[in-house]
Amino acid sequence: MGPNFDVVVVGAGIFGSCTAYHCQKLGLKTLLLEQFNLGHSNGSSHGKSRIIRYAHASPEYVPLVGDAYSQIEEFEKKRGEKLWNKLGLLWTATGNQVNEISGHLKNLNIEHSVIPGNEISNHYPQLKFDEKWTGLIDPMGGVIYANKWLNAFQEEFKNLGGVIHENEPVLSHTETETGGITVTTVADSYSTTKVIYTVGCWITKFFPNVNFDIKPTSLAVCYWNTKEKKNAHLVDEKHFPVFIVKDLENDEEFLGLPDVDYPGKLKFLTDDGDALTEDLGHPDKQTDRLIEMPRGFIKEHIPVIDGSKPFTVEKCKYTSSPDHHYVIGPISENYPNILVGGCGSGSGFKVAPGIGRALAEMAAGKERTTENWFLRLDSMVAVR
């Protein structure tokens, strides 16, 4: 039997790393376990870039975003490291969605502006939209340096005395007669009072008797060249925003980021994917539509980009709930000492610091810093 811990966090992606950091910061002796090597590309937390923004279709998330901005500012000062870049976010959509989001932001006194689609090119000449589109500019939007965020929370966790074991898959957990929990891995067993699972799509493997009603998918993360090399600077961080597209007429969603991952290459992908295999792996071949959808959009709306074929395509596992809210809290009323945090794909990276704080406060039995009643686990799962 290995050493005793107050909390064992399973999964060292961005949710788990933020959670472990906040547990240790609250004085809880914490072990963070990862089945692969740290920073691996088998899940949802790898890569160099993600989007951060206040603009959100669900206004409940704004306080969590504000918490993330505060935490990252603190880390940047402490570490002397740039962890994100304020570029501005463009959210463009058909229908009335932009006006609805604007209403939420006005109620929360969040600075933003709304512009007709045919004026978007006045702000971003690389883009072309007509009057059926509406744009919202969130000046606090920007790009997260994702690999640096992940590394920062893991390093600060260790600086506080936290322990990380990588390449150590968890096999099971069992509750003892005295109310404790034993976590068994391929290498050892650990005693603890709380276990927090932040394992993405693998959550169904640990709780086969719980219906999480989630369908993990494999995204095709596409990177595209400009048509002319001389225009490569038009997709860099000085000239290009982070942007979100919601084509409600055609039920299509896209995400775009400047060339953080590959110089001169636009990151642009559809917010859709193929089903994972039974063993939760990526399919051998992704369907053509995952390339065709962004290609069609590029041809019509991003004329500086060569949409004939991507420069490269990477894969990312994507786990979300049916209502796209996060899954946070005890696994059930009968098991209050076993918590989960997940279903954050698509928008969770930017709020992971706040999610981590919330899970740590739950584990410590403390009042939560931010109001997050909507992050309820029992609203979407049922024990078989």
Q: What is the pLDDT of residues 284-333, one digit of tens each?
A: 999 999 999 999 999 999 999 999 999 999 999 999 887 778 889 998 88
Look at residue 378 and tell me whether its pLDDT is greater than 60.
no
Which among 188, 165, 147, 138 is positioned nearest to 46, based on CA atoms? Answer: 147
DSSP 282: P
Axis-axis angle for helices 352-364, 14-25 (nearest 10): 50
Residue with tokens 């909507």: 374
Biggest alpha carbon–alpha carbon distance for the chain: 69
CATH of domain 89-139+215-320: 3.30.9.10
Cα dihedral sign for 147, 150, 153, 155?
Answer: negative
Cα 29–Cα 34–Cα 37 angle in degrees, nearest 5 = 130
In CATH terms, the superfamily for domain 1-84+143-212+321-383 is FAD/NAD(P)-binding domain (3.50.50.60)
Distance separating alpha carbons of residues 153 and 162, to the nearest angstrom: 11
Cα 244–Cα 249–Cα 250 angle in degrees, nearest 5 = 80
Axis-axis angle for helices 146-159, 14-25 (nearest 10): 30
DSSP 226: B
Alpha carbon separation from 112 to 23, 104, 106, 108, 115 (Å, rounded) = 35, 11, 8, 11, 10
Q: What is the pLDDT of residues 194-207, one digit of tens each?
A: 999 999 999 988 88
User: Letter for the amino acid at 92?
Assistant: T
Is 210 in a helix, a strand, or coil? strand
Say what the pLDDT of residue 75 is.
98
Q: What is the pLDDT of residues 55-73, one digit of tens each?
A: 999 898 899 999 999 999 9
Cβ partners under 8 Å of residue 29, min gap 6: 4, 5, 6, 7, 161
Look at residue 43 and tell me whether its pLDDT is greater than 90.
yes
**All structural domains of the chain with their residue ranges:** 1-84+143-212+321-383, 89-139+215-320
Distance separating alpha carbons of residues 191 and 3, to the nearest angstrom: 7
Q: What is the CA radius of gyration of the chain?
A: 21
Cα 343–Cα 142–Cα 269 angle in degrees, nearest 5 = 55
Torsion of CA 41, 45, 51, 52, to 10 degrees: -160
Is 270 in a helix, a strand, or coil? strand
CB of 144 closer than 8 Å to CB of 81: no
CB of 308 closer than 8 Å to CB of 286: no
Band of pLDDT at residue 267, cut at 50, 70 and 90: very high
Q: What is the pLDDT of residues 178-192, one digit of tens each?
A: 889 999 999 999 999
Look at residue 374 and tell me whether its pLDDT is greater than 50.
no
Strands (E) located in 232-302? 242-247, 252-257, 265-270, 273-275
